[in-house]
Amino acid sequence: LKDLTPFENVNVNLVDELEDSKTDILIEMNKRNPELFDVYRLNFVTGEMNMIAENPGNISKWITDHDGKIRMAITTDGVNSSILYRDNEQEDFTNVMTTSFKDSLIPLLFTFDNKYVYASTNLGRDKSAIVKYDIKNNKELEVLFEHPEVDVTTLGHSKKRKVLTSVSYTTWKREKIFLDDEIKQIFSKLESDLPGYEIVITDMDDDENVYVVRTYSD
């Protein structure tokens, strides 16, 4: 093991694994200012790192697209939250939406063409639903899934195959709706091999052939 960020009193979080890179990841850390997290590109082989996004003072979360480009950011003052957007990293961020504590639009991931986002939102409805959203023009495009009784906030996808795989929500227990036949067959086999357990896939290799599976029950 090698500590790549041996800085005293500095917190570090992973922003993007950059699956297509064999050497680099994106991290955020509060090295420059203890109250703010900037984004750095870190070469985990050589240890070299470079700041690629400086926090102007109000950003609480950075969001990358499927190419590892920082395209969105979330700001908050504790009551209201804003979504900042840009088409590319050469542009400045634009505030496209501000919501109060009663309303929310939570970006989950970019669409696979990097044009729009999939999000969980309760805008215009009582319960949060999974939608396809045009962030740039602040417009809902399509409802993917909603439940009449509970909020829906979790959307699964395959990084390798670039497809949405499932939606999860909790009623009396965690329930899952499959959007993809391949992941549905995988879960069916796991449930057959591990009867009586609730099953969660917590991680997988880049080829999506080897899985880490968590099981638990009442």
pLDDT of the chain along its 218 residues, tens only? 899 999 999 999 999 999 889 999 999 999 999 999 999 999 999 999 999 999 999 999 999 999 999 999 999 988 999 999 999 999 999 999 999 989 999 999 999 999 999 999 999 999 999 999 999 999 999 999 999 999 999 999 999 999 999 999 999 988 999 999 999 999 999 999 999 999 999 999 989 999 999 999 98
The rounded distance, in Å, linking the Cα atoms of 217 and 194 is: 11
According to the model, what pLDDT value does residue 148 have? 96
Q: How confident is the model at residue 211, as a pLDDT?
A: 95
Residue type, 81: S
CA dist., res. 179 & res. 93, Å (int)? 33
| Residue 206 confidence (pLDDT) | 87
- Residue 114 tokens read as 């990097």
Q: What is the pLDDT of residue 199?
A: 94
Nearest-5° Cα angle at 196, 191 to 201? 45
pLDDT of residue 101: 86
User: Do residues 36 and 55 lie in contact, with contact meaning Cβ atoms separated by under 8 Å?
Assistant: yes
pLDDT value, residue 78: 83
- Give the pLDDT confidence score for residue 136 in this predicted structure: 95
The string of DSSP letters for the chain reads ---S---TT--EEEEE--TT-SSEEEEEEEEEETTEEEEEEEETTT--EEEEE---S-EEEEEE-TTS-EEEEEEE-SS-EEEEE-SSTTSPPEEEEEE-TT--EEEEEE-TTSSSEEEEE-TTSSS-EEEEEETTTTEEEEEEE--SSS---EEEEETTTTEEEEEEEESSSEEEEES-HHHHHHHHHHHHHSTT-EEEEEEE-TTS-SEEEEEE--
What is residue 137's predicted lDDT score, i.e. its pLDDT?
Answer: 96
Q: Which of 57, 55, 58, 46 is nearest to 15 (CA)?
A: 55
